Amino acid sequence: MVLVENEFFQLYESVDKIFMLVHKEGFKLKDFETIMKQQRRLKLTSFQELRQALQTPASTPYEIGVWLPVIVLSISKDSMLVSLQVNDPHDALVQNEEQLNKQISTLAEEMGLRCQLVHVTPEQVVDTKNLIVGQGIAPERGTDAIVNYFENPVKKPMIREDGRADYFDMNFICEIEKNQWLGEKIPATEGESGINVYGEIVTALAGNDASLRYDPSSVYESDEDGHIVLRARHSGVLDIADGIVKLLQHLTITGDVGIETGNLDFKGSILITGTVTPGFRVRALGDISIEGNTGVTGAELIESLVGDVNIRGGIFGNNTMVVRAGKNIYAKHANDVVLEAMEDIYISNYAMGAHLVAQNVYLDEHHGKIIGGDTSVTQSIKVAYVGNQHERRTNLTVIVPDRAERMAEARALADESEMLKEDYKKRELQVAQLESFYDKMTQQQRFAFENSKQAATTLKKRIIQLDEQIQTVLLSVRLVGKEEISVTKEAYPGTVVQIGKYSSMLRKTTCGSFKVEGGELNV
């Protein structure tokens, strides 16, 4: 079929291929674009061949392209869509609606398509370059597993009517009863299969699974109505640390710690509704909360290894009492006592003759007082009043760490962490390999398996603790130069302010933010 013929060449189609027989050179390549627009079904396959043909007349034709069908059906890569491409919308086939749809059906049958085809009109074909004429039924992905845990009350201060924070009305201990609900997992679903345009089944993706993370020695799981539910093995105190649900053993002392109870040394958390009488000692792994309104007078030691200490009524230490916390210490007031916190100390009213050691020490910015004693921190002190009108010596010290020493400490901790991580990977792999055989294990084997899981969990917790320590050390290095002692109301003469190697005793009443600026203490 001859498509174009002029004095320069003859352009014709044969067996769906386009040939050019050139009689004479001189036809401009740019003018061939007009022919391309007129012959919509013509598709060049070799631009270089066309250029050479126009420049070099020959007795044999050049093959320069292909002759496209009037309509083409294309299948998407996922075999879910059938699209119609019309190469010449002005062709008689396209303009005849009945013949157009009949041809589409014929092509679909030849291609083995099994999906339902939509009816198309010539107007749609002109307006849309690639018209969707058929589609499969898409698979429905399964829903992801949903994990919910018991919400552990957040330890945060109550905000009083005057806008100040009350650090003594806080949720320190969350008690859990045996078999109480602690969490659950709604399993992922498999999803609904689909069908592609060829009539083939398309398997649906199952929803993403999720794991319940818990301490098997204190928490167990059960299948309840298709849900995997976590419940408490025994009564205790809820502890959700590092995303792992577990129960710490919890001891409640109704009344006072004294002759009737003796000294307490407990691997859990302790709630004391009364006080700790003079000379007695309370030590715990978790939190210690002493709720008596009278506070504590003359006890020997109150120590939480990894938790907080809350003494609601305040402290009279008689220069013999020590309070230590792996995290924070909260007290109404502190008299003649040593308070040592790995994190921060919060005192509502005043500290008198006390020795305070922490990262930060906070007293009420409107009324809080530090009178006498030594307050030593690594970051900041915030208080309303320091010292008194009698010029009682009061030492406020911010210890500035040595960068090199702290970085060496961080490296040592990192080395230990990396070593433990290698051990943890081996244990985790071992647990994962054995977990699939859990249903076939004997009771003794299951007990050993649970112990292995617990050992891996303990190891991971130690790794997390080390990493937290590393971050704390690095933070202390980054904060070097940002140390501050803030006195919002009055700092009396006799107050000694020291930040790093810079120190000064106040000679007159003042207030403000004391820092090292330009190599000097701005006192």
Q: What digits encode the pLDDT tens for the residues 465-514?
A: 888 888 877 877 776 667 899 999 999 999 999 998 889 999 999 999 99
User: What is the rounded distance in angstroms from the CA atom of residue 348 to the CA atom of residue 164?
Assistant: 10
User: 197, 114 in Cβ contact below 8 A?
Assistant: yes
pLDDT at site 192: 92
Beta bridge pairs of residue 496: 395, 505
Determine the Cα angle at 369 with ends 368 and 373, to 5°: 140
What are the pLDDT digits (tens) for 285-343? 889 999 999 999 999 999 999 899 999 999 999 999 999 999 999 999 999 999 999 99
Residues 284 and 307: their CA atoms lie apart, in Å, by 8
For the chain, counts of helices (H) and of strands (E)? 7, 41
In order of 55, 57, 140, 310, 369, the CA distances from 24 in angstroms are 8, 6, 63, 103, 107
- Dist CA 237 CA 172 (whole Å): 10
Closest by alpha carbon to 16, among 62, 67, 65?
67
**C-alpha–C-alpha distance, residues 99 and 118, integer Å:** 14
Interatomic CA distance for residues 510 and 366, integer angstroms? 15
Q: What is the pLDDT of residue 181?
A: 94
CA-CA-CA-CA dihedral for 213, 217, 219, 222, to nearest 10: 90
CA–CA dist 116, 109 (Å, integer): 11
**Report field, pTM of the whole predicted structure over 0.85:** no
DSSP-based helix, strand, coil % in the chain, nearest 5:
20, 40, 40
Contacts of residue 127, defined as CB under 8 A and 6 or more positions apart, other chains included, come to none
Q: Is 94 left (phi over 0), alpha (psi -120 to 50) or beta?
A: alpha
Low-confidence ranges of the chain (pLDDT < 50): none
